[in-house]
């Protein structure tokens, strides 16, 4: 069997192992990549590769950025930042029609900016927002959809764990990827707000206005969001101005979040212990997945499959944008049945050479596929946010949660279309960095 055929067969076996046998993605990629490498070359070469990659992956200084940003988000979670953010946003937005739904979107965006995870944002905002929207007679479908969709901002708005992984996998600047995700993240937030406004205009009973608050009450609510703003400005401002590397920014953010939480008395010792435990667990999971992806990527590299695919696609007599659309469609479908991070790690070694061979900006492509893949968190059958939200409420069925999330899909489509039409929305801000 020639190497290219072995690469194709190995990829098909990997997909079967993940979808049919339900083998964890990290182990499936690692085992199949190792066996495939041994088949194409020999056992000694495969064992040498395994030892080398184990050291290369886990000795990377840049990898420390992952647990630091995760720890920052976990400390903020266990110190109750999400609740204070929600109260502050509600004081300003709650009195207008659909304002509580908009409050949920804004609070998700704010928490996402210091959390970086859609599942964590979905879980925390479900406990805060769903009871409040039920209290003010919001339609359960709108409530569930706003939380599920808003929580996906955790992957788009930096600091994002997915953008960190893409940077490490493609040897791009994590700081520039963070800056590249800023404008699309804010744009997607605005489109979600517009979706809530449209739904409440079309169905006035879905989002009744809440009680009015005075300007003094609005001002008194601002301290609830100050700590989030300070942490975000420290991390992203330091990266933008060149004061920090991404790892230093993660360390500074984690340290500042801990200091603020301790001084304010919002973080107990038990909460700190849980934050550390969760950070270790999540970080270990991500790093094991990365190791499996690297081993599988080395197998694909020696088969030359990604390079052959890149040359074949680049030579097709069709516009390059059509190829980008096809790739995006593959990511949308893949995101429906596979975790976003795992999907990216499996497919980046194949699609990244294709895109760069066609001359597209790798920074633009990294942010674009992050947004497209995030659709999987709110699409069946494996929309992780949908299952989290459904498990947190008894007022709406799983079908109702699915229905609520579909109202926000148009915002995603419009956001992706704008990024394709105007790549500077991604590349403009990183170009201004020091």
Residue range 339-372, pLDDT digits in tens = 666 677 778 877 888 888 888 899 999 999 888 8
Residue 336 forms part of a structural domain: yes
| Structural domains in the chain (count) | 1
pLDDT of residue 213: 77
Predicted confidence band of residue 310 (pLDDT cuts 50, 70, 90): low
Once rounded to an integer, what is the mean pLDDT over residues 19-44? 85
Once rounded to an integer, what is the mean pLDDT over residues 263-281? 86
Instruction: Give the C-alpha separation, 416 to 399, whole Å.
Output: 26
Predicted confidence band of residue 190 (pLDDT cuts 50, 70, 90): very high
Please check the confidence at residue 44 and state whether its pLDDT lies above 70.
Answer: yes
Please check the confidence at residue 41 and state whether its pLDDT lies above 90.
Answer: no
Indicate yes or no: pTM above 0.85. no
Once rounded to an integer, what is the mean pLDDT over residues 322-333? 83
Closest CA to 91 of 192, 220, 205: 220
Q: Which residues contact 317 (CB under 8 A, 6 or more apart)?
A: none
Cis, bond preceding 24 (omega within 30 deg of 0): no
Angle between helices 65-78 and 161-170 (to 10 degrees): 180
Burial class for 263, CB neighbours closer than 10 Å (0-12, 13-18, 19+): exposed
Q: How far lies 164's CA from each of 170, 227, 349, in Å?
A: 10, 24, 16
Residue 235 forms part of a structural domain: yes
Q: Is 209 helix (H, G, I), strand (E, B) or coil?
A: coil
Instruction: Give the C-alpha separation, 167 to 13, whole Å.
Output: 27
Per-residue pLDDT reduced to its tens digit, 101-137? 888 888 788 777 666 667 667 777 777 778 777 877 8
Average pLDDT across the chain, whole number:
81
Please check the confidence at residue 184 and state whether its pLDDT lies above 90.
Answer: yes
Most confident of the ranges 117-126, 185-194, 253-262: 185-194
Q: How far lies 222's CA from each of 102, 113, 289, 312, in Å?
A: 17, 17, 40, 56
Closest CA to 164 of 254, 288, 290: 290
More confident residue, 382 or 22: 22
Residue 53 forms part of a structural domain: no
Residue 38 forms part of a structural domain: no
Backbone angles phi, psi at 242, to 5 degrees: 85, 15
More confident residue, 325 or 87: 325
Q: What percent of the chain has pLDDT over 90?
A: 9
pLDDT of residue 434: 58
Least confident window among 99-108, 175-184, 190-199: 99-108
Rounded to the nearest 10°, the torsion over CA 194, 199, 200, 202 is 120
Token pair listed for 227: 């700590």
Most confident of the ranges 135-144, 194-203, 345-354: 194-203
Residue 47 forms part of a structural domain: no
Token pair listed for 30: 């690692």
pLDDT of residue 147: 86
pLDDT of residue 252: 87
pLDDT of residue 338: 63
More confident residue, 309 or 230: 230
Reading phi first (left if > 0) and then psi (alpha if -120 to 50, else beta), residue 171 is in left
Closest CA to 158 of 73, 44, 56, 215: 73
Please check the confidence at residue 49 and state whether its pLDDT lies above 80.
Answer: yes
Q: Is 74 helix (H, G, I), strand (E, B) or coil?
A: helix
Reading phi first (left if > 0) and then psi (alpha if -120 to 50, else beta), residue 268 is in beta
Q: How far lies 19's CA from each of 8, 61, 64, 289, 349, in Å?
A: 17, 33, 31, 16, 20
pLDDT of residue 183: 92
Residue 20 forms part of a structural domain: no
Once rounded to an integer, what is the mean pLDDT over residues 252-261? 87
Once rounded to an integer, what is the mean pLDDT over residues 273-289? 83
Residue 303 forms part of a structural domain: yes
Instruction: Give the C-alpha separation, 402 to 310, whole Å.
Output: 36
Please check the confidence at residue 337 and state whether its pLDDT lies above 80.
Answer: no
Instruction: Give the C-alpha separation, 67 to 256, whole Å.
Output: 15
pLDDT of residue 66: 78
Helix, strand, coil % (nearest 5) of the chain? Answer: 80, 0, 20
Token pair listed for 113: 């900016």
Answer positive or negative: Cα dihedral of 381, 386, 388, 394: negative
Range of the domain at 344: 63-432
Residue 27 forms part of a structural domain: no
User: What is the residue whose two structure tokens read 């401002």?
Assistant: 237
Once rounded to an integer, what is the mean pLDDT over residues 58-84? 77
CA angle 65, 366, 19 (to 5 degrees): 90
Answer positive or negative: Cα dihedral of 338, 341, 346, 348: positive
Burial class for 73, CB neighbours closer than 10 Å (0-12, 13-18, 19+): buried
pLDDT of residue 187: 93
Predicted confidence band of residue 140 (pLDDT cuts 50, 70, 90): confident
């Amino acid at each position: 069997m020639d190497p290219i055929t072995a690469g194709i067969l190995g990829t098909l076996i990997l997909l079967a192992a993940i979808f049919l046998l339900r083998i964890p993605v990290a182990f499936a990629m690692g085992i199949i990549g190792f066996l495939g490498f041994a088949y194409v070359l020999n056992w000694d070469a495969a064992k040498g590769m395994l030892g080398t990659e184990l050291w290369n992956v886990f000795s990377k200084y840049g990898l420390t950025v992952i647990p630091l940003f995760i720890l920052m988000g976990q400390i903020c979670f266990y110190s109750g930042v999400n609740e204070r953010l929600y109260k502050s946003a509600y004081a300003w937005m709650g009195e207008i029609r659909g304002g509580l739904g908009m409050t949920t979107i804004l609070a998700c965006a704010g928490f996402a900016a210091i959390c970086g995870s859609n599942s964590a944002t979905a879980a925390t905002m479900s406990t805060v927002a769903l009871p409040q929207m039920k209290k003010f007679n919001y339609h359960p479908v709108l409530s569930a959809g706003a939380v599920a969709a808003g929580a996906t901002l955790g992957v788009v708005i930096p600091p994002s764990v997915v953008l960190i992984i893409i940077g490490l996998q493609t040897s791009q600047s994590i700081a520039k990827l963070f800056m590249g995700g800023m404008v699309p993240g804010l744009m997607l937030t605005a489109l979600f707000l517009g979706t809530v406004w449209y739904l409440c205009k079309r169905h006035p009973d879905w989002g009744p206005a809440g009680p009015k608050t005075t300007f003094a009450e609005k001002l008194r609510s601002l301290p609830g969001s100050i700590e989030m703003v300070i942490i975000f400005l420290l991390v992203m401002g330091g990266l933008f101005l060149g004061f920090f590397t991404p790892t230093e920014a993660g360390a500074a953010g984690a340290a500042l979040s801990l200091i603020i939480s301790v001084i304010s008395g919002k973080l107990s010792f038990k909460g700190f212990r849980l934050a550390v435990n969760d950070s270790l667990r999540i970080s270990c999971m991500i790093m094991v997945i990365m190791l499996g992806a690297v081993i599988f990527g080395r197998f694909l590299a020696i088969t030359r499959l990604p390079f052959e695919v890149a040359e074949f696609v680049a030579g097709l007599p069709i516009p390059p944008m059509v190829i980008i659309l096809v790739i995006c469609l593959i990511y949308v479908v893949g995101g429906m049945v596979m975790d976003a991070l795992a999907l990216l790690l499996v497919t980046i070694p194949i699609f990244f050479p294709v895109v760069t061979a066609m001359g597209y900006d790798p920074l633009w492509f990294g942010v674009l596929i992050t947004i497209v893949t995030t659709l999987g968190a709110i699409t069946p059958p494996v929309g992780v946010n949908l299952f989290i939200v459904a498990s947190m409420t008894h007022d709406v069925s799983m079908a109702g949660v699915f229905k609520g999330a579909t109202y926000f899909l148009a915002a995603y489509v419009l956001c992706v279309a704008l990024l394709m039409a105007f790549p500077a929305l991604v590349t403009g801000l990183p170009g201004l960095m020091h």
